[in-house]
Amino acid sequence: MKSLIWLMDLMLPYWKRILLALILSMLTITSQIGLMATSAYLLARAALQPPILDLMVTIVGVRFFGLSRAIFRYLERYVSHDVTFRVLSQIRVKFYQGLEPLAPARLLNFRSGDLLNRIVADVESQQNLFLKVIAPPFVAILVLLGYGLFLARYDMRFTAILAACFLTAGLVIPWAIKALTRGVGTQMVALKAQLDIQVADTLMGITELVAFGQVSKYLKRIQLTDKELRSQKRRIAGLSALSSALTGMIANLGLWLVLVLGILLVEKGRLSGVNLGMLALGTFSSFEVLFPLALVPHHMEVNVAGAERLLELIKVKSFVKEGVAIIPQSSGVDFSFQKVSFRYSQDESWALQQLSFRIPQQGKVALVGPSGAGKTSVVNLLLRFWEYDEGTIDLGGNSIREFTHEEVRRIIGVVTQRTHLFNATIRENLLLAKPEATEEELIRASQQAKLHEFIISLPLGYENFIGEGGFELSGGQRQRLAIARVLLKNAPILILDEAMAGLDPLTEREVMDEIYQLMEGRTTLVITHHLPGLEKMDEILVLDRGRIVERGKHDKLLSLGGLYHGMWKSTVIR
């Protein structure tokens, strides 16, 4: 019920368009009834061979209803689809606005394929809400009232026949179909989501699956899910055909009942024989409005299931509260951790324990330690992805909790081991950092990252597509693109999180030289397992189990013979 209320709230701003669409739909059916009724009346009158002038009004009526039916149908489809697409756009905006603050903390339990399915398939399923759930019952009621009043002018029993047939086809058949399809809509949404997840996982991991010989196993899983989904679709298609046949049967029954009653009235002289065909065919054509009603419960179930999957995410509260302050722009911003403790959940051990350090404006500090020491947790807290439990993180002399997420991330530039690149052009990937950047700024950032010459050598230059994840680029080129993006952003704080991992030695040296240039004039935190090159750092912090166990410059830490010395020996030997 909550999901339906949420969807209705999104539709309310468009109530005028919705009302117009309903009226146009009713006029379309009215024109259809009018076309059939006046055609039957014209044929009956013409059989009596009256003067042609007596038929002119009826002839004009046939032409009018024939043309108006096409015009009203076009306008109805135009307006109803306009409403649908506007509502879908609102759903997408609401979903993204609810999803964006949750990343990444609240999305760890959701696979990327599932998230993609929600924002694409579950949103698209809502296109049936107005077209196949809301509109058909309302239009059927309007047609019943309008044509029922018209029939009542001749005999109330005609209206009774129409009402009985409408109630049977509009209530009994949908109820029976609902009983037969109960749960199918929810299953189809779940199976569609499962299929999309399996396909996405297979495509994204195809290299590893081929290497380990698991392709056939994953393909078999996809085929089984697809088979089950197709089975449910065949079931719905069969029941749809059954409902259409039953509705058609009731339409024909209504036609014959009106015809029989009309014949009896003609024999008694209470109805003109010329009107008999008009009433019968008009009644038959009015049943066109009933055919979509049978699957209304099924479409509603699909809509509700899809909406609940969307609400499951956007109604979740973010771990991190939004601040209000704004950090002034500066060539560099200092930041500090003061007795910060943090854990990802109450059931887990502390990722950081009483962590304290400070990086002064334009200072360069390295954070090293074994895997699981808590290095990435420091980045997550700085970027406001998670909320720390104890202590204080200050940014530019103020608590980081006082600032908006957008402002915090505006002044922090990050180069990670796996920078995400979109299947778009080089220009579009660069503009993510600064959408309003000029051509000169793009070129200057690319030149500083030693990437411009490579870009202009491509067939389309900056308009060249780089493939999913940037896989058409080499590892070094991807990192240079990430560096160019940070340079374009021109953030006063720079975080390098394993930026050199996965690169070959030659590329690593080239990229490292560019990164050292990138550090100039910026407050920099370097997180790495790779110790060579840290001699240039102002200070090195050695983290283990969420605590700083050693700190100092490179030479001093080596002389201590502790954890840093052991890591250095391992690096040199490797």
* 286-317 confidence digits (pLDDT tens): 998 998 888 888 888 888 888 888 888 777 77
Q: What is the mean pLDDT of residues 30-37?
A: 90
Model pLDDT for residues 453-490, shown as the tens digit of each residue: 889 998 888 999 988 778 788 877 888 888 888 888 88
CATH class of 335-573: alpha beta
Using pLDDT thresholds of 50, 70 and 90, give the confidence band for residue 182.
Answer: confident
Can you tell me the distance from the alpha carbon of 432 to that of 414, in angstroms, rounded to the nearest whole number?
13
Start and end residues for every CATH 3.40.50.300 domain found in the chain: 335-573
Does the pLDDT of residue 318 top 80, yes or no?
no
Q: What is the mean pLDDT of residues 345-349?
A: 82
Does the pLDDT of residue 243 top 80, yes or no?
yes
Using pLDDT thresholds of 50, 70 and 90, give the confidence band for residue 574.
Answer: very low
> 402-438 burial, b for 16+ CB within 10 Å, e for fewer?
ebebebbbbbbbbbbbebebeebbbbbbbbebbeebe
The more confident residue out of 271 and 506 is: 271
Give me the pLDDT at residue 202, please: 86
Picking from 561, 523, 529, the residue whose alpha carbon sits closest to that of residue 543 is: 529
Can you tell me the distance from the alpha carbon of 24 to that of 79, in angstroms, rounded to the nearest whole number?
9
Tokens for 204, please give them: 């994204």
Give me the pLDDT at residue 71, please: 94
**What is the pTM for the complete model shown?**
0.74
Can you tell me the distance from the alpha carbon of 460 to that of 15, in angstroms, rounded to the nearest whole number?
47
| Residue pair 33/286 in contact by the 8 Å Cβ criterion | yes
Can you tell me the distance from the alpha carbon of 211 to that of 371, in angstroms, rounded to the nearest whole number?
26
As a three-state string, the secondary structure of 219-276 is: HHHHHHHHHHHHHHHHHHHHHHHHHHHHHHHHHHHHHHHHHHHHHHHHHCCCCCHHHH
Does the pLDDT of residue 573 top 60, yes or no?
no
Sheet bearing 539-544, strands edge to edge: 412-416, 493-497, 523-527, 364-368, 539-544, 547-552
The answer for residues whose C-beta is within 8 angstroms of residue 88's C-beta and 6 or more apart is 123, 124, 126, 127
Average pLDDT of the chain, as a whole number: 85
Give the chain's largest Cα–Cα span: 119
User: Which of 107-111, 258-262, 412-416, 544-548 has the weakest average pLDDT?
Assistant: 107-111
Q: Is the dihedral of CA 124, 7, 119, 308 positive or negative?
A: negative
Phi then psi dihedrals of residue 333, to 5 deg: -130, 130
CB atoms within 10 A of CB 120: 12
Picking from 203, 10, 45, the residue whose alpha carbon sits closest to that of residue 116 is: 203
Can you tell me the distance from the alpha carbon of 338 to that of 333, in angstroms, rounded to the nearest whole number?
16
Give me the pLDDT at residue 501, please: 60
User: For the chain, give me the number of helices (H) and strands (E)?
Assistant: 23, 10
* Strand, helix or coil for residue 93: helix
- The percent of residues above 90 in pLDDT, for the chain, comes to 17
Does the pLDDT of residue 160 top 90, yes or no?
yes
At CB < 8 A and 24+ separation, what contacts does 10-16 make?
10/87, 10/90, 10/91, 10/94, 11/83, 11/87, 11/129, 11/130, 14/83, 14/86, 14/87
Does the pLDDT of residue 197 top 90, yes or no?
no
Model pLDDT for residues 364-395, shown as the tens digit of each residue: 898 988 888 888 888 888 888 888 889 999 88
Does the pLDDT of residue 72 top 90, yes or no?
yes
List Cα–Cα distances, 143 to 147, 149, 157, in angstroms.
Answer: 6, 10, 17
Does the pLDDT of residue 552 top 80, yes or no?
yes
Give me the pLDDT at residue 19, please: 92
Does the pLDDT of residue 572 top 60, yes or no?
no
Model pLDDT for residues 44-70, shown as the tens digit of each residue: 888 878 887 777 888 888 899 989 999
Can you tell me the distance from the alpha carbon of 196 to that of 190, in angstroms, rounded to the nearest whole number?
10
The answer for residues whose C-beta is within 8 angstroms of residue 169's C-beta and 6 or more apart is 246, 247, 250, 251, 287, 290, 293
Give me the pLDDT at residue 503, please: 60
Using pLDDT thresholds of 50, 70 and 90, give the confidence band for residue 323.
Answer: low
| Residue pair 55/45 in contact by the 8 Å Cβ criterion | yes
Can you tell me the distance from the alpha carbon of 117 to that of 325, in angstroms, rounded to the nearest whole number?
36
Pick the CATH number of 2-314 from 3.40.50.300, 3.20.20.70, 3.40.50.150, 1.20.1560.10: 1.20.1560.10
Give me the pLDDT at residue 489, please: 85
Can you tell me the distance from the alpha carbon of 398 to that of 392, in angstroms, rounded to the nearest whole number?
10
The more confident residue out of 507 and 55 is: 55
Start and end residues for every CATH 1.20.1560.10 domain found in the chain: 2-314
User: Which of 195-209, 262-276, 308-322 has the weakest average pLDDT?
Assistant: 308-322
